[in-house]
């Protein structure tokens, strides 16, 4: 599904994780080996040219599991909560606004 944030084409073709073990991005548990997996997945995401697009897609689709765009499920929940906070003047902060605030994007 194309959107204003994710743009045209299959952005996943350029993902740094395309040849990585998918299990790395979907660890089971929240301690021990799972934490090492999360750190490694995030390290891969930090080198990715489409990290922001990946995160935008995960937020748009409401993805609740795994590491996407260098964020954990908990971090994405925090971004979604930010999007629900009203800015001064009563204007609703959108997820796009929240992403722009986090990554300095327009």
CA neighbours closer than 13 Å in the CB half-sphere of residue 65 = 7
- Please name which of 55, 10, 7, 45 lies closest in space to residue 24, comparing C-alpha atoms: 45
- Segments forming the whole domain that contains residue 88: 11-103
Quote the pLDDT of residue 48: 96
pLDDT band at 88 (very low <50, low <70, confident <90, very high): very low
Q: Is residue 25 part of a domain?
A: yes
pLDDT digits (tens, 9 = 90+) for 44-65: 999 999 999 999 999 999 999 9
Q: Is residue 81 part of a domain?
A: yes
Based on the structure, what is the number of domains in the chain? 1
- Please name which of 52, 77, 55 lies closest in space to residue 67, comparing C-alpha atoms: 55
Q: Is residue 20 part of a domain?
A: yes
User: What phi, psi does 50 have (nearest 5°)?
Assistant: -115, 25
Quote the pLDDT of residue 33: 93
pLDDT at 80 over 90: no
């Amino acid at each position: 599904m194309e959107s204003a944030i994710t743009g045209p084409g299959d952005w996943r073709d350029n993902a740094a994780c395309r040849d990585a073990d998918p299990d790395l991005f979907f660890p089971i548990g929240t301690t021990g080996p799972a934490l090492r997996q999360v750190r490694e997945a995030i390290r891969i995401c930090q080198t990715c040219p489409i990290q922001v697009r990946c995160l935008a897609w995960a937020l748009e689709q409401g993805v609740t599991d795994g590491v996407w765009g260098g964020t954990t499920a908990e971090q994405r929940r925090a971004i979604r909560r930010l999007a629900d906070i009203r800015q001064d003047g009563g204007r609703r902060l959108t997820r796009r606004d929240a992403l722009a605030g986090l990554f300095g994007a327009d």
